[in-house]
């Protein structure tokens, strides 16, 4: 929870208020003063104004006043000191910044949640930043807050396995979740919680050990990635096919070229429905090239021909520039003439 900085002064304020009330009632009872006189005496005593007593005090009144000085003046000095410290240390500025961040997260939809901001989480965030993909980071380290606040990136410091933390990150309106903690156990729990909170969520999980992959899939992950397994394949490819691997890096990671790989789902009312690739003229109209088509049943057409038919919910895997992708998106989402 993001509490107001001045909330920690509440106990001292309550205690000081109690001292004031007890003081007023005490002077009325001990010295038989009026309400106004008792209130005036308590206020001048607590704030050490230095005026003389309303009337000469009895022995009991003097002893009572000493207790008021110790309790009331001490509380007032503590509250004033803590208030100044909150302002000087910038806690109010941080609180307002946190409130703005919480509001931003609450308004996000179709975003991704990165659970764990270690080495893998950093890489995921960098790719999302380059692709302008909205995301929220959940991490338990205080240093992550300092790092991402400077980048104005949405961040929640908390336990990603907690339902309340996932809900705070907007899991019910999220598009996907990346469980990339260094702990396989944490990733399994995050996946379980996320799947229950959002059954339609696309979950990609990290597995440090081979045995964990099956558990993550059973917990509800759509995809499981082992960084060590992927690294081994990548190193072997660089050794055997260095030029092809370099080209793939340029395409998939941006590099210094202005084209990349994209995917696009064919909606129900698209003008491309039931047309062949030749009839749709995707290449001629948008400039993007269709590399593969994932059919609705999950199978892939890895070598689509000019006669291949485009159907509802097909996912086109294309290569092109951002401009060509935007042109294709406009074509795909336009209605039949």
What's the confidence (pLDDT) of residue 193? Answer: 94
How far apart CA 296 and CA 294 sit, in angstroms, is 7
Q: What does the chain come to in residues?
A: 337
What's the confidence (pLDDT) of residue 258? Answer: 63
For strands 155-157 and 223-225, give the pairing.
unpaired
How far apart CA 292 and CA 277 sit, in angstroms, is 11
Question: Which are the contacts of 332, defined by CB distance < 8 A and separation ≥ 6?
Answer: 264, 266, 267, 270, 272, 316
Please report the domains of the chain, with CATH numbers, ordered by start residue. Answer: 5-88 (1.10.287.70), 108-225 (3.40.50.720), 258-332 (3.30.70.1450)
DSSP 118-178: SHHHHHHHHHHHHTT--EEEEES-HHHHHHHHHTT--EEES-TTSHHHHHHTTGGG-SEEE
Q: Which of 148, 119, 150 is nearest to 135 (CA)?
A: 148
Q: Which of 176, 130, 136 is nearest to 152 (CA)?
A: 136
Count of C-beta atoms within a 10 Å radius of residue 211: 9
How far apart CA 109 and CA 267 sit, in angstroms, is 20
DSSP label of 94: H
Look at the block and give the residue holding tokens 């946190």.
98
Is residue 323 within 8 A of residue 301, CB to CB? The reply is no
The per-residue pLDDT string of the chain (337 residues; one tens digit each, 9 = 90 and over) reads: 556 666 767 777 888 888 888 888 988 888 888 888 888 888 888 877 766 777 788 888 888 888 888 888 778 777 777 777 666 554 555 566 667 777 888 888 999 999 999 888 998 998 888 878 899 999 988 888 777 777 778 888 889 999 999 999 999 999 999 999 989 999 999 999 999 999 999 999 999 888 888 899 999 999 998 877 777 777 887 788 888 777 777 766 655 556 777 888 888 888 888 888 888 888 888 888 888 999 888 888 888 888 888 988 899 988 888 888 888 888 888 887 6
How far apart CA 284 and CA 328 sit, in angstroms, is 10
């Amino acid at each position: 929870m993001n509490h107001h900085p001045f909330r920690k002064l509440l106990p001292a304020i309550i205690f000081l208020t109690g001292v004031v009330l007890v003081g007023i009632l005490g002077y009325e009872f001990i010295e038989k003063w009026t309400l106004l006189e008792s209130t005036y005496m308590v206020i001048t005593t607590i704030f050490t104004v230095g005026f003389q007593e309303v009337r000469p005090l009895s022995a009991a009144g003097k002893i009572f006043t000493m207790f008021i000085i110790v309790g009331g003046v001490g509380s007032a000095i503590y509250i004033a000191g803590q208030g100044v410290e909150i302002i000087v240390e910038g806690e109010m500025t941080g609180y307002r910044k946190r409130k703005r961040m919480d509001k931003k997260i609450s308004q996000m939809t179709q975003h991704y949640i990165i659970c764990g901001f270690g080495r893998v989480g950093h890489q995921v965030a960098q790719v999302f930043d380059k692709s302008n993909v909205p995301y929220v980071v959940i991490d338990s380290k205080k240093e992550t807050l300092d790092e991402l606040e400077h980048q104005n990136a949405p961040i929640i410091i908390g336990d990603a396995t907690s339902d309340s933390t996932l809900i705070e990150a907007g899991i019910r309106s999220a598009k996907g979740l990346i469980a990339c903690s260094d702990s396989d156990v944490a990733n399994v729990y995050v996946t379980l919680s996320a799947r229950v909170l959002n059954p339609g969520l696309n979950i990609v999980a990290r597995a440090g050990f081979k045995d964990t992959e099956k558990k993550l899939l059973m917990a509800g992950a759509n995809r499981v990635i082992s960084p060590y397994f992927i690294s081994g394949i990548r190193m072997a490819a660089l050794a055997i096919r260095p030029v092809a691997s370099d080209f793939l890096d340029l395409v998939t990671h941006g590099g210094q070229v202005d084209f990349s790989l994209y995917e696009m789902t064919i909606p129900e009312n698209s003008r491309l429905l039931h047309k062949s690739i030749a009839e749709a003229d995707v290449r001629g109209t948008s400039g993007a090239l269709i590399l593969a088509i994932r059919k609705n049943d999950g199978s892939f057409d890895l070598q689509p021909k000019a006669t291949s038919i485009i159907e509802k919910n097909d996912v086109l895997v294309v290569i092109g520039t951002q401009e060509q992708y935007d042109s294709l998106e406009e074509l795909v989402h336009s209605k039949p003439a």
